[in-house]
Structure 1
Amino acid sequence: MDGLEVANLALEIIGWVGVAGGIVALAVALVVHAADNGWAETSVVVVDDDERGAVVRWLDSEGMHEHELSEHEHGALGDPDEAVAWTNTGGRIRFERRSHALRVWWMIALLLLGIGVVSLVVSLVISLTAS
């Protein structure tokens, strides 16, 4: 077995593991996406409180809610006059449309699928040119 055959075998193994892992990560991302449903876009009002700092308030079917903003959240909020957040039942709030876990699983899935497909294509090219 020469070096080209070893490289071809290694690329094929990496390719199949990458594709299989990417499919599993994609399935997990779809489950996380389904579980992440139920967040509604909501306009929020930013109020400066002398004791607590910046606070956001919003109304939903359950009544009025408020949330103290951390420094990071205040910076991510952008323009306080046109502030938008995503709320869920129970007074939960976040400032990104999708959760971080969902973004991580999508990136893992795309990365593994990309590596797997590229490895399989390179392995196929090596196999065709070696013959």
Structure 2
Amino acid sequence: MASKILVIEDQAEIRRLIRWSLAETDHQVQEAPNGSLGLAMAQTLRPDLIYLDVMMPGELDGIAVCQQLRQDPATAGLLIVVLSADASQDNKARALAAGANFFLPKPFSPAKLLELTQVLLRNKTQAPVDPEAP
């Protein structure tokens, strides 16, 4: 059965890279260009995995989306990978404190993204994952 993956990212190039990275899999990839739409889609679709950018324009950035998903019992258990060009320890800590399962710094390789996707979906872990792990 195909897993549902939601990509919440304002940069079209990054959304394309993620879609391309997962093209050879049977995953169903949905996309949202901002936090508000992404939050609504996550609540409706209940994806198996969410790739969520931290810095997005609009009223909801990735940290706020992650926090709202974790506060809603219907979406609290979703797997969330936070993406960010700011790979500082403070930014990683903020993402994990908001409830992210994993932090993936940009730029990332398609192979790493595919490997991470496979590991997370296989393990279906709900506990935060070591942000330094491959």
TM-score, reference length from structure 2: 0.22
Whose RCO is larger (CA < 8 A, sep 6+)?
1
Give 1 or 2: higher helix fraction: 1
Higher Cα Rg, which structure:
1
TM-score, reference length from structure 1: 0.23
